[in-house]
Amino acid sequence: MAAEKATTKGVQRMSTSTTTATGRAGVYESLGLTRVVNADARLTKLGGSLMPPEVIAAMLDAASGYVDMYAFQERAGARLAELTRNEAAFISAGAAAGLVISTLACMVGTDLVALSRLMEHGEARKDEVIIHTAHRIPYDPAIRAAGARPVNVGNALQTFDWELEAAITERTAMILWVAGDHLRRGALPLEETVRIAHARGVPVVVDAAAQLPPVESLWRFTREQGADLAVFSGGKDLRGPQASGLVVGRAALIDACRMQGSPNQRLARPMKAGKEEMAGLLAAVERYLTLDHAAIIAESERVIAGWVAAFDGLPGITARRDFPNEAGQPTPRCLLLVDPAAAGIDAAGLRRRLFAGDPPVAAGEGSVPNSVALSPDTLEGADPAIVTRAILAALGR
């Protein structure tokens, strides 16, 4: 891929090509697939994110030699802990795998006898994970994958401190707290959850998979708000390998994560992070901490302003800035409110028409009924102009 000159300090744009450097068709094209312009979000179903040159170079370097994987995981974890201001860190094969491994770590710690009973008999003295009802998300089956049972507390609208206190028993392994402004309603604040949990000796794990930006999230949940572990996706805003995740927090629990994970032949062995993913994630975090995040947001605001000017006032379309994004991050996006009677198409139909275009353009479901969300931070080079043309064409303009 050829790098284009950044238009804003700290913002690097990359152009995508449909052919390799030798002129051969790329891997997608060789399979009859078309590259997607992603104006939706950094989603697994779209391949996560696009890795920058530094990350790709680190993965290629790691792929060129053998290494002691026990030592690599420990040394890379120590470096990541230093970078993220945490006691310790562990590299997982994605954030969902990080949740499984964190749950296992809280269930048995570094007790090899307890681990043996869990491996051989599926039994653990601590096998319950408390989660706010308002925090039930499609990724919490990771709890069951670890052999634990989720225990709901509160309801979708509210949770009281005494409800959480009553839910904690001698079988409670941990409390899973899911971060994001869009999930804040109905759950106790993290600080209060930590206070109640720690009074009973129960660890708190934060699912922060999509909570970058802001960069401070890498240490805020653990160092400032008291959570024992926080789990991040490596393949979203960090722009590391899609199959990578980062677990940070208390050293004793990170030791337990390492004991569960590959290359050990234990329960989390199938969730193997390879040397390439580990090197790529380390490079991604190092890069992320050097970026001018304010400049990145400013570039997004510039693109959104252009979209609003282009689309607002078209028949049946109202365009405006929307904040925060779909994962509750402090990142702006553009919202198109669609009046089907005037536009001749509803929001779902517009999204389908965009994805059926050439090139396909992925757009998100908006935060209000019958709306389309457009995210600029996933786009590269000329992509914002491509999105503009695609939407105008889809609306018959």
Residues 333 and 359 grouped into a single domain: yes
Task: Give the pLDDT confidence score for residue 325 in this predicted structure.
Answer: 83
Query: Residue 21 sits in a domain of what CATH number?
Result: 3.90.1150
Low-confidence winner among 144-158, 320-334, 372-386 (lowest mean pLDDT): 320-334
Query: Residue 199 sits in a domain of what CATH number?
Result: 3.40.640.10
Choose one of 288, 316, 344: the last residue of a domain: 288
Q: Which domain holds residue 209?
A: 53-288
Residues 94 and 119 grouped into a single domain: yes
Task: Give the pLDDT confidence score for residue 2 in this predicted structure.
Answer: 33
Choose one of 252, 270, 288: the last residue of a domain: 288
Residues 151 and 208 grouped into a single domain: yes
77 versus 265: which is more confidently predicted?
77
Task: Give the pLDDT confidence score for residue 122 in this predicted structure.
Answer: 85
Q: What six digits make up the tokens of 172?
A: 């409670």
Q: What is the mean pLDDT of the chain?
A: 92
Residues 187 and 60 grouped into a single domain: yes
Task: Give the pLDDT confidence score for residue 6 in this predicted structure.
Answer: 32
Task: Give the pLDDT confidence score for residue 106 in this predicted structure.
Answer: 97
Residues 284 and 297 grouped into a single domain: no
Residue 235 has pLDDT above 90, yes or no: yes
Task: Give the pLDDT confidence score for residue 120 in this predicted structure.
Answer: 86
Residue 85 has pLDDT above 90, yes or no: yes
| 367 is a domain residue | yes
Query: Which of 347, 326, 248, 355 has the alpha carbon at shortest distance from 43?
Result: 326
Low-confidence winner among 69-78, 84-93, 103-112, 263-272 (lowest mean pLDDT): 263-272
Residues 74 and 178 grouped into a single domain: yes
* Longest CA–CA separation in the chain, Å: 68
Residues 196 and 300 grouped into a single domain: no
The Cα angle at residue 97 between residues 93 and 99, in degrees rounded to 5? 140
Residues 316 and 245 grouped into a single domain: no
Query: Residue 9: which pLDDT band, with cuts at 50, 70 and 90?
Result: very low
pLDDT tens digits for range 15-55:
344 555 445 678 999 999 999 999 999 999 999 999 999 99
| 40 is a domain residue | no
The mean per-residue pLDDT over the stretch 65-88 comes to 97
Task: Give the pLDDT confidence score for residue 14 in this predicted structure.
Answer: 35
| 307 is a domain residue | yes
Query: Which of 224, 227, 231, 64 has the alpha carbon at shortest distance from 143?
Result: 231
Which pTM does this prediction carry? 0.90
Spatial separation of the C-alpha atoms in residues 330 and 334, rounded to whole Å? 13
Q: What percent of the chain has pLDDT over 90?
A: 82
Do strands 204-207 and 229-233 pair parallel, antiparallel, or not at all (unpaired)?
Answer: parallel
Choose one of 261, 288, 315: the last residue of a domain: 288
Peptide bond into 263 cis (omega under 30): yes
Q: What six digits make up the tokens of 120?
A: 């051989």
Residues 355 and 223 grouped into a single domain: no
State phi, psi for 9 to the nearest 5 degrees: -55, 130
Contact (Cβ atoms closer than 8 angstroms) between residue 12 and residue 6:
yes
Domains held by the chain: number: 2
Residue 326 has pLDDT above 90, yes or no: no
Q: Which residue has the tokens 């919202």?
A: 335
Query: Which of 303, 330, 299, 94 has the alpha carbon at shortest distance from 215?
Result: 330
Residues 274 and 191 grouped into a single domain: yes
